[in-house]
Amino acid sequence: MSGYPTIIRVATFTNAFLFSLCSSCCRRFPFPAPAVAFVRTIAYRHPLGKEGRRKKWAIVSEASRSPNTITTTPSSSPVNGYPEYHRLFPCPATTTSPRIEHLVVLAGGSVSESISKVLNLPPLYVEDLIRIGAVYYALVCPKPPPTATPEQIKLYEQFTAPDFLKKRQSTKGKTLREAQNTFRITHVDQYVEPGTYLRVHVHPKRFPRCYEIDWGSRIIAVADSYVVLNKPAGISVGGTSDNIEESCATFATRALGLTEPLKTTHQIDNCTEGCIVLARTKEYCSVFHGKIRGRKVKKLYLALVAASVPIGVITHYMRPVNVAPRLISEDHIKGWHLCQLEVLDCKEVPWPNSVIQAAYGVEECGWPEKDFAYECTINLLTGRTHQIRAQLAASGAPIVGDSMYMPASLAEMANPGVNPFGRCKKLYANENDKKLAIENWISLHGKEPTITIGLQACQISWDEHIYKAGSPWWR
């Protein structure tokens, strides 16, 4: 062999499609060393749909070569739609479409050399992917999704057969489900044995704002067991599945010169700014989680909205589906989660001018009247993902710059019956009609904001501690 591990290139997915695949965990295969080295490439060759999902797998190429040859895909060539790869750092100014590769190793060796050779990526680029946290491995590959071809299902069954698994020392004593668990590759020279499954996020999500922030000025408080940070908008709190490098936790750790990385205790949306608490130890991370579960942590928000909101408690119920947009209903629906927030104050303020919006990366979402906006002080009573954004939009007062929920709010204003869970919802003749109405309602929502919306976690308090974030961007 050439010295590089032989790999089967299993598939290419987008992030959205990968989510459903990875939720069933990942599994390793014990591949016997073949007499003829080969690479099997399976990828979808058509443009992405509106939701960015691959609809099926299709065989692009299958080739056999001599034992000293490995077939590769020239992914650095602009001909096949991919950019020319160099380095991930410094952070590029432009974004690229999601690209995720799934590989199975047939002959053991260095993980970075394996990926570089098979995907035709520069070694330094692969090292950057590993540094950023964009490469995973598992002992056994995941079960193919329902859209897999009969050939792919056959391959999966072949390489997860008990007779193959028995030959691998690493799977002994593990159930198949345990062997499916994925872990990040943390070292560029990490050895991967035959049968190892690799997932490579070739185009990880990037957060260029990390490099624009004076992180020292964002520190609100430093205690023995925690740090309070005034999180900038447009940056993840603790990282994403494909990027743990460009996060608030990482950059705050460096700004403070800490030897141990700060740990995430709770989340706020990437597009939201304000107070977050980062634990300095695993022990305090558990302590703070307990305070949240016991409802001992109080969070106040400032929301800049497009219309006036009445003072008092607003109640909705959120669909228990962990995918944006989050759908909510004013009526109780069995199994849906209670969402409550209390509007403490709502006052008229000037709508931010175009210069301010451009400076903070606020998107234009089509709201017709921009003479005035309204600043609401909100006590968050239950903490659901996108809760404040979804509830205010459902109340006819979407948050300024919220490119996901404001378009749907505008659509409901123009056609009140379009929301199947709204005040003016229609009665449907059958479940299929209602399903179509829900799909249409989802399609009326926009994309997630890129950087900033009019939402700030202005205060967080627990026990005797009270911390404030200062003035929001729109003041």
CA count, 13 A, side-chain hemisphere, 190: 18
* Helices within 415-457 (DSSP H only): 431-443
| Distance in angstroms (rounded) separating the CA atoms of residues 333 and 339 | 12
Active site positions, annotated: 269
Q: In which band, very low, low, confident or very high, does the pLDDT at 135 lie, cut at 50, 70 and 90?
A: very high
Residues 26-65 pLDDT 10s: 333 333 333 222 233 333 222 333 333 333 332 222 222 2
Residues 138-192 pLDDT 10s: 998 888 888 888 887 887 887 788 888 888 888 888 988 899 899 999 999 999 9
Cis peptide before 350 (omega within 30 of 0): no
| Distance in angstroms (rounded) separating the CA atoms of residues 102 and 81 | 18
Residues 250-306 pLDDT 10s: 999 999 999 999 999 999 999 999 999 999 999 999 999 999 999 999 999 999 999
**Residue 98, helix vs strand vs coil:** coil
Residue 471 C-alpha from the chain's centroid: 28
Query: Do residues 103 and 10 make contact, with C-beta atoms less than 8 angstroms apart?
Result: yes
Q: In which band, very low, low, confident or very high, does the pLDDT at 25 lie, cut at 50, 70 and 90?
A: very low
Res 172: pLDDT:
87
User: What is the average pLDDT value for the chain, to the nearest integer?
Assistant: 84
pTM: 0.81
Q: What percent of the chain has pLDDT over 90?
A: 68
Is a pLDDT exceeding 60 seen at residue 245? yes
Res 342: pLDDT:
98
